[in-house]
Amino acid sequence: MSCDLAAGIINKWLASCQEHVECNSHNLFAAKAREIRDREEGATEKSSPNPILPKRMIQLGENAKTARLVPVSTNSTDPYAALSYCWGENGNFITEEHTLGDYEKHIPVEKLPQTIKNAFCLTKAIGLHYLWVDAICIVQGNKQEWGEESQKMGHIYSNAKIVLSATRSGNVKEGMFTQRPATPLSTDIEAVGGSMLARRNLNHEIITSCRTKSNYWWEKHINGTFPLLSRGWGFQERMLATRIVHFTPSELVWECQKLRKCECGVMESNLFPVMNNLGSALRICLEQPKDERSVRQMWREIVNSYSVRKLTQIDDKLPALSGIAGLLQERSGDTYAAGLWRRSLPFDLLWRCDQSGNLQSKKTRSPSWSWISVDGAVKWPVSQDPNEEQPLKYISSTTYFECGAEGIEVCDVECKPDGKDKYGRVKAGRIIAKTRMALATIHYVSDETWNGMYGTDWAVQVNASDLAPFWPDISQEGLQFDPYGNNVLQVMEVMKSRNIPGSWEEALVVRLKCGFEYEYERVGVAANVSLTSRKWTTVTSWFDSPHSDQITLI
């Protein structure tokens, strides 16, 4: 595919999109932009909702043969494109302090890697003069500037006229375009009584890949075909884009607020209903009357899908999701706590690691009670009760256990941000709670039936109780080696069914931090159920004593 051919297709889609009210009235960040600007400027009256824009953009010359970096004014209305792509391990073209002055005069186009060259050409071919590329528009190595601009990422992609997504490319050298096979995407063939449209069997996981899948599924089906979809930063870029066009191995795919299109036409069929995706779900959630249950479930669906993706800098887990977190915080008014929400506790603590991935031997990020402390995919326990109302009717979600449940008393939550962004990196965090504890031992269960039912090879035993499923956060090596100098594990009560004897009970598996009385680190989560009973039914409670202790989770 050539730049001109791609531009011709995109321009047709853009032209039809101009008629979409959903796309042209779209301004998810208007209120948030106004709030930030008023605070920074000390305004006594609310300002107009001008969008928050990047510090600088690339201005393209005739035929994209020349380019330079230019500053962006706060009231700029110039439309621009934004590039979403994989850097790769090396070979990217970046702006540094010592090259910034030169690039403000002239960017050496001939030295650019292929993906960025293609983006330059395509931006001009669709009639735009400005492009935003993170590696060039943000001075690399400048921690302060990165901190300031990373807070704007959601705004940058949301406010772009179009996002160009190099979805098929695993690194910046591979380029956006690909050699097209000779076989047409679709053709009419003769059939009994008429004709029928035959399409090539294309890989359309690009549509469903925003949903929750296991680590194994991603490794097998997505990483090699659509590398960008496996990247953490790419998730938010896609979720918040007003319009995005994907360059896949076989065809172009279009997504906007109204519909999805592809060159073969299948995405406009009933096979892929437009609302069955997280991007549309998020926008509807933000536009609906305030409903805390739908907001918290929306967030868990987002984390489920996001957590399976990879990051070059693992500490970017929260910054790469900060734009979405800010939108939901504004919608709910809740307090954000290292990827969890204050009013969603204690249930938010019950996330569990996908056991099909490789667990690390220890946690290198704090706090241990947040999903940011682990590297793989996470999910929350769900109920399959068909009679329970679904708060997210616009996506095929499941209902969470917190309905009809009671939890421990959360006394205090504290997080220390690592920088100015309250949705970004954290130095440390703690939760003070009143709860009941019990000694526990863990066991490896070599039983396919057990794994098939619970999705784990591990079990926990409390006193003389039956074995119950345990989903560890760390590997067997990490569980056996205790950095705090003891081998004692305990279960910490978190939630249970309200007034229903013999129902479900969930707990964290924790261990005491050496030298700190009542300070605990989370190492996993367990459910008090028995293989001999119904899947989510407990026979005997782990916590018979009415006495509770005040403990600190770190």
Total-model pTM: 0.85
Q: What is the DSSP letter of 118?
A: H
pLDDT tens string 377-404: 999 987 655 566 666 655 555 556 676 7
Distance between CA atoms of 304 and 320, rounded to whole angstroms? 14
| Most confident option among 46-60, 67-81, 285-299, 502-516 | 67-81
Distance between CA atoms of 327 and 82, rounded to whole angstroms? 20
Distance between CA atoms of 317 and 384, rounded to whole angstroms? 30
Q: Dig out the tokens for 134 from the structure.
A: 């993170």
**C-alpha distances out from residue 80 to 56, 73, 162, 242, 299, Å:** 11, 13, 7, 12, 29
Q: What is the pLDDT of residue 213?
A: 62
Q: What is the pLDDT of residue 32?
A: 47
Say if residue 164's pLDDT is above 60. Answer: yes
Residue 305 has phi, psi (to 5 degrees) of -75, -40
Q: Which residues contact 80 (CB under 8 A, 6 or more apart)?
A: 57, 128, 130, 131, 132, 160, 161
Q: What is the DSSP letter of 251?
A: -
Domain spans in the chain, listed from the N-terminal domain onward: 3-179+202-270, 282-553
Q: What is the pLDDT of residue 510?
A: 96
Spatial contact of 227 and 147, defined as CB atoms under 8 Å apart: no
pLDDT tens string 429-471: 999 999 999 999 999 998 888 998 899 999 999 988 889 999 9
Distance between CA atoms of 27 and 31, rounded to whole angstroms? 9
Q: Dig out the tokens for 229 from the structure.
A: 């979809």
Q: What is the pLDDT of residue 486?
A: 54
243-247, 420-424, 467-471: least confidently modelled range:
420-424
Q: What is the pLDDT of residue 437?
A: 95
Q: What is the pLDDT of residue 392?
A: 66
**C-alpha distances out from residue 77 to 73, 161, 166, 347, Å:** 9, 11, 26, 44
pLDDT averaged over every residue in the chain: 84
Residue located via tokens 């009973």 = 533
Distance between CA atoms of 230 and 311, rounded to whole angstroms? 9
Q: What is the pLDDT of residue 29?
A: 56
Q: Dig out the tokens for 201 from the structure.
A: 């069997």
- Burial of residue 327 (CB within 10 Å: 0-12, 13-18, 19+) is buried
Q: Are strands 505-512 and 489-497 parallel, antiparallel or unpaired?
A: antiparallel
Helix, coil or strand: residue 97 = helix
Strand blocks (E) in 332-463: 336-337, 340-341, 352-353, 378-379, 382-383, 399-400, 405-407, 409-417, 426-435, 437-444, 458-461
Q: What is the pLDDT of residue 116?
A: 97
HSE of 486, CA atoms in CB hemisphere, 13 A: 13
Helix, coil or strand: residue 406 = strand
Strand blocks (E) in 283-425: 336-337, 340-341, 352-353, 378-379, 382-383, 399-400, 405-407, 409-417
Helix, coil or strand: residue 26 = coil
Distance between CA atoms of 209 and 215, rounded to whole angstroms? 12
Q: What angle do CA 102, 68, 110 make, to 5 degrees?
A: 85
